[in-house]
Amino acid sequence: MEDDVRKRIRGLGFGEDATEVLAGHFLDAEARGRTGHGLTRVDWLSTLPGLHPEAEPKRLLAEPGYERWEGNGALGYLTLDAIVRSQLETPPERSRVIVASHCFPTGVLGYWTRQLAEAGLAAALTATSPARLASPDGGPPLAGTNPLSIAVPSSDGRPLVADVSMGKVTHGDVLAGNATPAELVPFGGQQAHKAFALAVGLQLFVDALVGEGHGAVLVVARPEADPVPALRKRAGRIRLPGD
């Protein structure tokens, strides 16, 4: 199956490196049960307007505590991969904010933050997508499902990885046939205004920093402590995010 996935991606015009990145993401999503971001997306790629398999993201600016990236026509997956590799090559001394324009689609955000946490960096990542969430009070869709992923390294080798979409379901769930478009509302039931507020807040935070188009904002920081093992012990048999 894995070879077939790579073959289909190469068939869209992607080179070897990009194919590895994309296949890695889709196969991992599938393996973790995130099918809405998994193999169903391979065929979906060919439906994207303006797919430029040869495009490469560009780092426009690199300062110790800030980096500015531009997708430059590349898929968001490839932009996030380039950003992650860049952080692993040159980790921040303390912290860094990374802002990426034209960074879409981004897939399972936890896939990217997990890689940073496995290398010892705490990470928080959000990314915007087409507006699909309306207020629980009605009106037009005002925010994407805008997930927030937070990953924290652990000396036990098992980072904590939270990855929460603000939608009751994701657009990927709809694409995969696991949900209907009508279920694309902020999660939370009677308290859906909370998820709506988070979705709008994340939307505008990213919009304000990236300028235009869909984008991503990542914060990476070097931990001063190792809190995950103690939490895991306290949790006992209770499953923690990302396990």
Residues that bind a second copy (CB under 8 A): 63-66, 68, 94-97, 99, 122, 124, 134-135, 137-140, 142, 148-153, 160, 162-165, 168, 187-191, 194-198, 200-205, 207-212, 219, 221, 223-228, 231, 234-241
Contacts of 106 (CB under 8 A, 6+ apart): 76, 77, 80, 112, 127, 129, 216
Distance in Å, CB of 167 to a second copy, minimum:
10
Decide whether 73 or 223 has the Cβ nearer to a second copy. 223
Distance in Å, CB of 59 to a second copy, minimum:
14
For 14, phi and psi rounded to 5 degrees?
-80, 145
Burial bucket for residue 115 (CB in 10 Å: 0-12, 13-18, 19+): buried
Decide whether 58 or 194 has the Cβ nearer to a second copy. 194
Smallest CA-to-CA distance from 134 within 204, 196, 213, 201 is with 196
Question: Rounded distance, CA 243 to CA 158, Å?
Answer: 8
Distance in Å, CB of 204 to a second copy, minimum:
4
Decide whether 75 or 220 has the Cβ nearer to a second copy. 220
Residue 199 Cα distances to 138, 178, 181, 185, angstroms? 15, 22, 17, 11
Angle made by CA atoms 29, 33, 34, in degrees to the nearest 5: 50
Distance in Å, CB of 211 to a second copy, minimum:
5
Decide whether 24 or 86 has the Cβ nearer to a second copy. 86
Distance in Å, CB of 27 to a second copy, minimum:
23
Distance in Å, CB of 87 to a second copy, minimum:
14
Give 220's strand partners. Answer: 96, 123
Q: Where are the beta strands (DSSP E) in the chain?
A: 58-63, 66-70, 95-101, 122-127, 133-135, 138-143, 148-152, 160-164, 216-221
Decide whether 47 or 190 has the Cβ nearer to a second copy. 190
Decide whether 12 or 221 has the Cβ nearer to a second copy. 221
